[in-house]
Amino acid sequence: MLPTYERLSDPKSVFFRLPFARLALTALSLPLGGFLFCVAWSLAFDFVRSTYTHCDVANYLPSVSAAIGNYEPQRTVWRLAIFLHLPLRLAAAKMYLEHYREHIRRSRRLLGVLACCLNVVEDLALFCLSFWTSADHYETHRNAFVVFIACSECYMLVSYLLNRNARKAVLLPHEEKSLRYKRNLFLVNVVAFGLAGYCFVRHNSHCEAGVYTFFALFEYVVVLTNMGFHMTSYWDFHALNVVCDAKHGLYLSQF
């Protein structure tokens, strides 16, 4: 069997060949575009309803759950974006599994498998919390959110450590760039999540004006840094193509 990045395929058996950069950009643009649309539409047309909380104090931003899941057309737009981008995210997880087999030291390959499993569970949890909203299915939404956050944070940490400490060879410049972005986005994500949790508890305990706005703002940072972290695949698979053929299935190739 030839190495993953050097497989040679009969052109007649190739179903498609796509630059990975295009796949990464598409996988990012769908949820990013959907998220920005939902927040903007909520602020423009559902401001009072989407920013209301049980404390009934001044609030200027909708929470993520309110923006994407409580009202139309936001709910449909978000669900469509997540539904369309899920196959791309799962394909990227498979690409990472092959990537780790090729480039991670044998003693650390189980961590590579763990990272890919966390990535897949994160994707499925995101799908669940998007289709079972807090307004209609609170417990399911809450449990899916907990799984999503736990897998997301663990995946980002394991992925960063694998690329920093477990590589067989020295990182190339674009891989070093990816690693820096991974580190910075992970740190910002963790800090923002902690601040969001603090603001959420403080809002529910004291019902102070504006605190829920900061909670929503830090939620946005968590969402955007998560998207940015997954976008680092753009540099991890620099200049590679995603190929699907009858013999090998889905894989990465330089050709």
* Three-state DSSP class for residue 104: strand
The pLDDT confidence band at residue 3, using thresholds 50, 70 and 90, is: very low
Ranges 77-86, 108-117, 162-171, 222-231: which has the least confidence: 162-171
pLDDT in tens, 189-204: 999 999 999 999 999 9
Share of the chain above pLDDT 90, in %: 63
At residue 176, does pLDDT exceed 50? yes
**Model confidence at 103: pLDDT above 90:** no
pLDDT at residue 37 tops 90 = yes
Q: How far apart are CA 110 and CA 237, in angstroms?
A: 21
pLDDT at 154: 97
The pLDDT mean for the chain works out to 89
Confidence of residue 11 (pLDDT cuts 50, 70, 90): low
| Contacts (Cβ under 8 Å, ≥6 apart) of 203 | 53, 55, 211, 212, 215
Cα–Cα distances in angstroms (integers) from residue 37 to residues 34, 44, 81, in the given order: 5, 10, 11
